[in-house]
Structure 1
Amino acid sequence: MVSISVDTTGSTPVAVNHEGVPLSLTPEFAENPNAMFVLWKDHTALKEAEEINALSRNWEEDYTRYEGGIYSSEWFWAKVLHILRSDDDVRNAAYSWVEHCDWIPAVLVGDTNPKNLKRSRCAAGHKAMWHENFGGLPSEEFLVELDPLLKGLKNNLFRETYTCDMKVGNLSEEWAEKLGLSTEVVIGAGAFDAHLGAVGGQIELNYLSKVVGTSTCDMLIAPKEVIGDKLVGGICGQVDGSILPGMVGLEAGQSAFGDIYAWFSTMLMWPVQEIIAKMNWLDDDTIDRIHKETSEKMIAELSAAASKVPLEESSVVALDWMNGRRTPDANQELKGAIAGLTLGSDAPRIFRALVEATAFGSKMINDRFISEGVRIDGIIALGGVAKKSPFVMQILADVLDMPIKVAASEQACALGSAMAASVVAGVHPDIPAAQKAMGGGFDSEYQPDSERASIYKSFYERYKRFGEFVEGELK
């Protein structure tokens, strides 16, 4: 063991005191959710995100332009501002704010002082409006205009950022003893799980790396000379070095993917949970067994039945906005919808429509990149859904009309962190060399079926029309 690198979810910030201790780890704030890490999926800062967008459009410098031109409630500044406004105690006690992926390496190094803490280029660039062209974070004037509560906070944050191939320190004596390691072990800069997952999944030029799980994160890399001054609108940012150092990382994603299937499965489980569980003539062990086996088999049985539904009979259309829309063009206030139901619309047909909706949402992302001049030749998929559901992945290949390679690694994000750590320690000279030496390759590939792909083109147009209608109604 020569090096450790860490990835976490993000944007997942927390308020810290002068020593860099999260407020939730102090007795006074132990039970206060506002003092805890705010997970990426939290959407409570919708109003703050809207205000950031409105101010940016009218400011002399649009600080959202490298973030796709639309700031999201899932990101750093919106979450920070929301808590500062809603909790006086946290506001008064907070000295700084730290991303989870930056705090863990600092803990391992043994120095969480916010002034010394090394911040991730990945987190700062994609979620905190950091860019070298701005000289770092947005100006003090912009932040104070957004809300005077932000006055002075920038001085307690950061200006410099670190890519995943950079060292932030050595393992502290405390953690060396806990882990049974040497203090000569070096610690690398943190990054987000999806971005290091793309590294672990062996991302390459012109291939979109798609982490397919509860949600998705869709990433591409491009040489700086190819991107130039091009700004891709409506995505989650383009950041030099956020995935591979020396390359521009472009990020997009869907706010819900596997979570939509889980929602439908949970809904279908209602009779088991609420009716069968109350049948007194069944003993508790039998009820538990029915619940367990039904829950475990639900998605697999739905997939098997849905795969037998003739494509030409698909009358049901759904929207994948059940957790809002991340990209293209973030709008977390949007809601999901289902249309085209008949008395013959059974559970497999509705499930198939939901799977198709998630695939159409993926195609919207691909189309945005391609329309902005970013080339995509194929997909590299990783994550739970990619590994577990051939049914979903084949529909995704057909809808995208692109080949999909599935990374062999069961833990691509951890593997990406290990690759980064190997470069930090000097085991490999750079990330591509680490990918070549440590990559697990691909264990399956899905090719689009030309006939189904052609049919899905018309279904996709129906999906877009439905989306325009629903979005118009929600306004």
Structure 2
Amino acid sequence: MSGEPLILVLDSGTSSTRAFLYDTAGRIHGQASRPITQHYPGPGLVEHDAAEIWTQSRACLAEVIAAAGGASRIAALGLTNQRETLVAWDRRTARPLARAIVWQDRRTADACAALKAHEGEIERRTGLRLDPYFSATKMAWLLQHDEAVRGAGDALAFGTIDSWLLFNLTGDHLTDVSNASRTLLLDLDASAFAEDFCDLFAVPRAALPRIVPTAGPLATLHPDLFGRAIPVTASIGDQQSATVGQGCLSPGETKLTLGTGAFVLTNLGASRPSPVPGLLGTVLHEVAGGPRHYALEGSVFVAGSLVKWLRDGLGLVASAAETADLAASVPDNGGVVLLPALSGLGAPYWKPDATAAITGLTFAATRAHLARAALESVSHQMVDLASAFSAAGAAWTQLRLDGGMSANDWLAQDLADMVRLPVHRPADVETTARGAAIMAAVGAGHHPDLPAAAKAMTPTTRSFQPRDLGPQRDRRLSAWKALVDQA
């Protein structure tokens, strides 16, 4: 390899897949993006074509590798991905057996309800709630309802998006510990899936991947893909990756990612989390040879996808950026309050059957009021999450904001005003990819540890200081609480 070493990152998200090139100082040298088709075959159902995800991912990687002058410039690859989305494929042909079931999908709500007696044990050991959000009930559903999956026998492979992409990239059936911790099948302090949970969900253990750390020498790419056996030195779930990319490496440091959903993670260090009402315990990262680190998480299912729905589903706005101007064009929400339960309600309510609702509509309501109510719903959910984290002894002192939706200045300021805390946003809001680059640089030995890598590779930030909204804040929260109670 000649010239400055470059870190290749594949960021496979819910609405797009992207590739980035970083140097070891955190500068971006190239990027490419391809959209991912969303399939909604029925109410509460959300699917992806896993073959499309691989095709688009491979195209993005090829584009940035070519722009870099070839694979000889690439020192390592880091992967980050949408987490709980489940893929079933035939390991002999590397072809999907069914459409991928996306993390937002709610088809297994009844199956979760039927297992309610086991919820306490599941939460105590896995840190997760028994909810359709997670992967295990998706596996059980496919085995019960899809003939191709059921008939695959020993060739059946299950995995989240990281596993699917790593299988195509390297031929190895792997998952990293951060993604494994989102399946309902992993004890938080274990290194293999729990046999009794596999039995509970009727998931064949042989169909599951091998668990590896988030950083280290994990695998190597097929040399015939891009001309060189590039080492894979990091694989990490997108929200954990964004936490690293925001430099939240010490206990108590908190980030909020506003993407398709909204996800708050507070670093807990090496302390294994105990069950907390309304919140999740999850693995944050594990560098090979080092201790496992954990986080407390609040997962909100709908954020950027709500604005996408306003644009594509209702035709209310022409672009996501337009919502900021519309929100600022009116002095308040005009009494309009929106509950964004388009995929049920996540933390801290956990109501998988809840549906979206809008109240306060009159002839005086305009699309500006609706756009403002949509953005305000994000802040309202963050206020409720802040209370849940505080009750758990993990009160926020500030928020580090990232994700595509965080570019909305009006929303960033409203968040600061409503949670009554400073909100800090980096100059580069794509911290998910940056976190994977940081992990990969450490895994490849280009930085001695995560703090050193984060210090070298994290950009500057802009701060939004909270303003006193007076009685308007109380009125908003009162109307919001009434709407949540109705759900």
Q: Scaled by the length of structure 1, what TM-score is found?
A: 0.78
Residue 460 of structure 1 aligns with an amino acid whose one-letter code is: L
Aligned to 1:73: 132
The 3 A distance-change label for structure 1 pair 221 and 373 is same
The worse-fitting range, judged by mean Cα deviation, of 38-47 and 70-79 is 38-47
Q: CA deviation at 1:368?
A: 0.9
Residue 118 of structure 2 aligns with an amino acid whose one-letter code is: L
Deviation readout 1:389-446 (Å, 9 max, x if unpaired): 111111111111111111222532222111111111111122221111111222x221
CA distance in 2, matches of 1:453, 1:403: 17
The 8 Å contact of residues 165 and 430 in structure 1, kept in 2 or not, is answered as no
Q: CA deviation at 1:228?
A: 5.5
Residue 361 of structure 1 aligns with an amino acid whose one-letter code is: Q
CA distance in 2, matches of 1:441, 1:300: 23
Aligned to 1:445: 463
- Aligned to 1:213, which of 240, 243, 259? 259
The 8 Å contact of residues 45 and 79 in structure 1, kept in 2 or not, is answered as yes
The 8 Å contact of residues 209 and 381 in structure 1, kept in 2 or not, is answered as yes
- Aligned to 1:163, which of 213, 217, 225? 213
- Aligned to 1:456, which of 451, 467, 473? 473
Deviation readout 1:24-68 (Å, 9 max, x if unpaired): 2xxxx5xxxxx23332222222222323434334xxxx0233555
Residue 32 (structure 2) pairs with residue 14 (structure 1): no
Equivalent positions of 1:372-411 (< 5 A) are 372-387=392-407, 389-411=408-430
The 8 Å contact of residues 107 and 132 in structure 2, kept in 1 or not, is answered as yes
CA distance in 2, matches of 1:16, 1:409: 36
Secondary structure (helix, strand or coil) at the match of 1:239 reads: strand
CA distance in 2, matches of 1:386, 1:74: 23
The 8 Å contact of residues 70 and 329 in structure 1, kept in 2 or not, is answered as no
Residue 176 (structure 2) pairs with residue 120 (structure 1): yes
- Aligned to 2:366, which of 333, 346, 350? 346
Residue 259 (structure 2) pairs with residue 239 (structure 1): no
CA distance in 1, matches of 2:318, 2:482: 34
Greater RCO (CA < 8 Å, at least 6 residues apart): 1
Residue 102 of structure 1 aligns with an amino acid whose one-letter code is: S
The 8 Å contact of residues 185 and 198 in structure 2, kept in 1 or not, is answered as no
Deviation readout 1:144-173 (Å, 9 max, x if unpaired): 4555xx3xx124435x63332222123333
Question: Aligned Cα RMSD in Å?
Answer: 2.7
Q: CA deviation at 1:123?
A: 1.0
The 3 A distance-change label for structure 1 pair 300 and 45 is same
Residue 166 (structure 2) pairs with residue 105 (structure 1): yes
Residue 77 (structure 2) pairs with residue 4 (structure 1): yes
Q: Scaled by the length of structure 2, what TM-score is found?
A: 0.76
Residue 315 (structure 2) pairs with residue 269 (structure 1): yes
The 3 A distance-change label for structure 1 pair 366 and 163 is farther
CA distance in 2, matches of 1:413, 1:428: 19
The 8 Å contact of residues 66 and 129 in structure 1, kept in 2 or not, is answered as no
Residue 351 (structure 2) pairs with residue 331 (structure 1): yes
The 8 Å contact of residues 12 and 39 in structure 1, kept in 2 or not, is answered as yes
The 3 A distance-change label for structure 1 pair 302 and 189 is closer
CA distance in 1, matches of 2:158, 2:432: 25
Residue 436 (structure 2) pairs with residue 417 (structure 1): yes
Residue 231 of structure 1 aligns with an amino acid whose one-letter code is: P
The 3 A distance-change label for structure 1 pair 248 and 106 is same
Secondary structure (helix, strand or coil) at the match of 2:472 reads: helix
Aligned to 2:274: 230
CA distance in 2, matches of 1:99, 1:48: 20
Q: CA deviation at 1:90?
A: 1.4
The 8 Å contact of residues 3 and 421 in structure 1, kept in 2 or not, is answered as yes
The 8 Å contact of residues 188 and 283 in structure 2, kept in 1 or not, is answered as no
The worse-fitting range, judged by mean Cα deviation, of 246-255 and 418-427 is 246-255
- Larger strand proportion, structure 1 or 2? 2
- Aligned to 1:196, which of 241, 256, 266? 241
Aligned to 2:193: 137
The 3 A distance-change label for structure 1 pair 157 and 214 is closer
Q: State how many pairs are aligned.
A: 409
Residue 304 of structure 1 aligns with an amino acid whose one-letter code is: D
The 8 Å contact of residues 125 and 188 in structure 2, kept in 1 or not, is answered as no
Structure 1 residue ranges without an equivalent (≥5) = 30-34, 271-293
- Aligned to 1:39, which of 80, 102, 120? 102
Secondary structure (helix, strand or coil) at the match of 2:421 reads: coil
Residue 205 of structure 2 aligns with an amino acid whose one-letter code is: K
The 3 A distance-change label for structure 1 pair 139 and 301 is closer
Percentage of identical aligned residues: 21
Q: CA deviation at 1:75?
A: 1.4
The 3 A distance-change label for structure 1 pair 53 and 96 is farther
Secondary structure (helix, strand or coil) at the match of 1:310 reads: coil
Structure 2 residue ranges without an equivalent (≥5) = 1-73
Residue 484 (structure 2) pairs with residue 467 (structure 1): yes
Secondary structure (helix, strand or coil) at the match of 2:256 reads: strand
Deviation readout 1:333-379 (Å, 9 max, x if unpaired): 11111112222122212222222122111221221111111131111
- Aligned to 1:96, which of 132, 140, 157? 157
Residue 314 (structure 2) pairs with residue 295 (structure 1): no
The 3 A distance-change label for structure 1 pair 422 and 143 is closer
The 8 Å contact of residues 261 and 305 in structure 2, kept in 1 or not, is answered as yes
Residue 389 (structure 2) pairs with residue 369 (structure 1): yes
| Higher Rg of the two aligned structures | 1
The 3 A distance-change label for structure 1 pair 429 and 81 is same
Secondary structure (helix, strand or coil) at the match of 1:2 reads: strand
The worse-fitting range, judged by mean Cα deviation, of 355-364 and 200-209 is 200-209
Aligned to 1:310: 331
The 8 Å contact of residues 122 and 184 in structure 2, kept in 1 or not, is answered as no
Q: CA deviation at 1:193?
A: 1.8
The 3 A distance-change label for structure 1 pair 310 and 73 is same
Residue 265 of structure 2 aligns with an amino acid whose one-letter code is: M
Secondary structure (helix, strand or coil) at the match of 1:161 reads: strand
CA distance in 1, matches of 2:113, 2:191: 24
The 8 Å contact of residues 85 and 100 in structure 2, kept in 1 or not, is answered as yes
CA distance in 1, matches of 2:190, 2:322: 52
The worse-fitting range, judged by mean Cα deviation, of 233-242 and 335-344 is 233-242
Secondary structure (helix, strand or coil) at the match of 2:141 reads: helix
